[in-house]
Amino acid sequence: MSTRRDFLRSTAIGAAGLALTRFSLPSLAQSRSVDSRIEVLLDEPLGTISPNIYGHFTENLAGVFYDGIWVGENSKVPNVGGLRKAVIDHMRKIKAPVIRFPGGCFADTYDWRDGIGPREKRPRRPNFWGNGDPKQNVKHKYDPNEVGTDEFMHFCREIGAQGYLAANVRSLPAEQFQQWVDYCNSPAGSTTLAETRATNGSREPYKVEFWGVGNESWGCGGDFEPGQYAMEFRRYATWVPGFGMNLKFIASGPNVEDYHWTSGFFEAMQKRMGSLHMVYGWALHHYAWNLSRGKTNDWDKGKGEAVNFDATDWYELMKEGQRMEGLIEGHWQVMGETDHEHRVKLVVDEWGPWYRPGSEATPGDALEQMPTLRDAVFSGMTLDIFNRHPEKVAMANCAQLINCLNSLYLAHEDNFTVTPVGHVFDMYAPHQGGQSLRTIFSSPQVKYERDGTPATFWGLRGAASLTGKKLFVTAVNPDTSSPRESEIAIRGASAASGTLTVLSAPDIHAHNTFEHPDAVVPRRNELKVNGATVSLVIPPASVVAIELELS
């Protein structure tokens, strides 16, 4: 098995390398005025970009809910039924499609029954993420269950998103999973749990389609072998009443290059069931950190810092993030060995950079980190990877929404700010539901040194989609010092008008704080177009979005 795993890993790495080579080859006639080119092939569609790849993740840890999303009905902070109004307003703006809850590792300690009914009667439980820090908020150490199923689904309704609920496979029986589905989806007045839901404030069902069967079941979610987890998955997902909903079960997939976990689960399911019809999605997790340059192999202390970094740290983290493309291609290949028609899609329901503690805006908020311009470029790069693989990736969930890793927002008491990552999601929203197009990027490579050894990284990359006559192109320039004199060539049409939105800053460490919320904000300008060719300058360390109206 190890030989096979090594082969698959090398195949995935090789595929990623070929992709880099392909994007670095010139595809248009050379021009002295530009050093980079983007060729959009309108007649080579790749598939529809699922809006759900722009999904989010909310776990009951640190300040994600308490002080982040949830402030309570009696708070002086503007709220809608206890939910922070600023978060709701911004989530509506970016058209947030789906939100994952309640974890994450927290999910496999969570009993959904603790979070329903009168809040004053709900039990307090030790939080999985309670770390003993004396500065840690007591609600982060001991979960008061003020936010449960009803509050979370109220949040989803307010922002127009679907809920994606993760079931506790490690410590609750399958019976409780089925009853949670009953509570969420049974028609008004039909079952005892439907009546309980009505008593708790929602007569009408929540109509939850997406259900995660466990979380990281190779680790904190049960420490299973893949065949063991396949048995648990079947037990939880078999004959669950849908109450008129087409339930979509998402299996707990691999961590990074664990191809053994993928092949083991798929083979076990195929052997027992003869098919994978029960599985909608296969969850893939990948967090990026620059452990190789850390001074210790300690899992946490070896990570790089969120705000204090140099250009080499910047590029090395981007390389870790770029691994996502090889992971998607590698696991897709393994899945296809059993699932020949590729019925099961990938769900990347945890992704983002992860740094060592110390940059949190609110002392005591475990896992909170300060997103900088680097994280905006990282996030744009990752979303573009998903955009380029619409036939493979059905959903993705950035970790996490607020006051955590790679957050879109930071909040504390009556303070609130949008991070550079939040601005990227706003800029990229037009891709949702668009037709992804094959797009060829050619650009000089970035050259730098890593521990005295020459290293390179690609110089420009992105994605394109078409919705009606609107062509939308996004790209990132990871070079910390050099702009890209660029030309977009549209194969098959001409552009009548266009706009360019740029997210960048003079300092690669720039970040938005409560005191200075506009250090990194997008700038939008009209773009000069010339038929099928568009010329523009893409600044260093930037994320750009180009909207073109085709004639």
List phi, psi (to 5°) of 349.
Answer: -90, 10
* Calpha distance 464→547 (Å, rounded): 10
Asked whether the beta carbons of 309 and 509 are under 8 A apart, the reply is yes
Cβ partners under 8 Å of residue 273, min gap 6: 234
User: Is 316 known to be catalytic?
Assistant: no
Tokens of 394: 């059905």
In the DSSP assignment, the letter for residue 49 is: -
Is residue 378 a contact partner of residue 318, using CB atoms and an 8 Å limit? yes
3-state helix, strand, coil in the chain (%, to 5): 30, 25, 40
Choice among 209, 216, 232, 325 that is catalytic: 216
Query: Half-sphere exposure of residue 491, counting CA atoms within 13 Å on the CB side?
Result: 16
Beta bridge partners of 353: 288
Residue 205 structure tokens:
């069902």
Exposed (0-12), middle (13-18) or buried (19+): which is 396, by Cβ within 10 Å? buried
Q: Do strands 345-353 and 393-398 pair parallel, antiparallel, or not at all (unpaired)?
A: parallel
Q: Does the active-site annotation cover 216?
A: yes
**Amino acid present at 441:** F
Cα→Cα distances 551→105, 183, 234, 468, Å: 50, 51, 52, 11
Q: Of residues 257, 320, 325, 350, which has the active-site annotation?
A: 350
Which residues does the annotation mark as catalytic? 216, 350
